[in-house]
Chain A
Amino acid sequence: ILNVEQSPQSLHVQEGDSTNFTCSFPSSNFYALHWYRWETAKSPEALFVMTLNGDEKKKGRISATLNTKEGYSYLYIKGSQPEDSATYLCAFPTGNQFYFGTGTSLTVIP
């Protein structure tokens, strides 16, 4: 069993604030790192698949960076909006399995 850890567990920010959170994963045998967004009562939705050390991906106000040597990825949200409220999951595939973190629950307060 691998440890994929996310921090913080939950986060409350004011509308308009920028925020970021972390996913830590084993730095050996790296293949890819996935980020998903999971809104309440919906299914997880893929945000990014990151494969290269130093990679940075962007989707609107959301971006992510990757450091495979030290085993972490950051997810940034610029100018948070209430519709960004969701749980953000990272997943680390190894072999045939995906190991998911427990997520960061983000609440954006209007």
Chain B
Amino acid sequence: NAGVMQNPRHLVRRRGQEARLRCSPMKGHSHVYWYRQLPEEGLKFMVYLQKENIIDESGMPKERFSAEFPKEGPSILRIQQVVRGDSAAYFCASSPGPSGQPQHFGDGTRLSIL
């Protein structure tokens, strides 16, 4: 009964490279949320997806960031041309339904930009 799986746990990139963060939701969960935790700050909503649909991406920076949740496979958060300010912990959570259901979190991906 696997929980939410995120990989990699740690990712190091140089400025200008691309970062791809993966999230496999819990079995039976079709709602996926991505959050970012900057140093010394709380969790900030980025994007909410259902299978093959972006429902709300209002928390995503307008440039360089994108997310998808394909019919098959994990949800991907993609950051192009990374900059030092992208260094953060990125958490994925899944739930079986919308906001009345508790979210189940992955262990996060710690992204470090050199």
Interface residues of A (CB under 8 A from B): 31-32, 34, 36, 42-46, 49, 51, 89, 91, 93-103
Instruction: Verify if B33 is at the interface (C-beta below 8 Å from A).
Output: yes
Chain B contact residue count (CB 8 A cutoff): 26
Known contacts being A89-B42, A96-B48, is A49 close to B58, with CB within 8 Å? no
CB distance from B49 to the nearest CB of A (A): 10
Contacts of B16 in A (CB 8 A): none
26 contacts between A and B (CB under 8 A): A31-B100, A34-B103, A36-B105, A42-B107, A43-B4, A43-B105, A43-B106, A44-B105, A45-B105, A46-B104, A49-B100, A49-B102, A89-B43, A93-B100, A94-B99, A95-B56, A96-B48, A96-B55, A96-B99, A97-B45, A97-B59, A98-B35, A98-B103, A100-B44, A102-B41, A103-B42
| Closest B residue to A45 using CB positions | B105
Known: A34-B103, A93-B99, A96-B48. 5 other contacts (CB 8 A): A43-B105, A43-B107, A44-B43, A49-B102, A96-B98
Known contacts being A42-B107, A43-B106, is A101 close to B99, with CB within 8 Å? no
B42, A98: Cβ atoms under 8 Å? no
Q: How far is the CA of A43 from the CA of B4 in the complex (A)?
A: 10
Q: Which of B17-71 contact A (CB under 8 A)?
A: 33, 35, 41-45, 48, 55-56, 58-59
A43, B108: Cβ atoms under 8 Å? yes
Q: Considering the complex of A and B, which 5 residue pairs feature the smallest CB-CB distances, nearest first?
A: A93-B99, A46-B102, A96-B56, A102-B42, A43-B105
CB distance from B62 to the nearest CB of A (A): 16
Instruction: Verify if B1 is at the interface (C-beta below 8 Å from A).
Output: no
A46, B103: Cβ atoms under 8 Å? yes
Contacts of A103 in B (CB 8 A): 42
Q: Which of B75-107 contact A (CB under 8 A)?
A: 91, 93, 98-107
| Closest B residue to A41 using CB positions | B107
Q: How far is the CA of A86 from the CA of B97 in the complex (A)?
A: 27
Contacts of B99 in A (CB 8 A): 31-32, 93-94, 96, 98
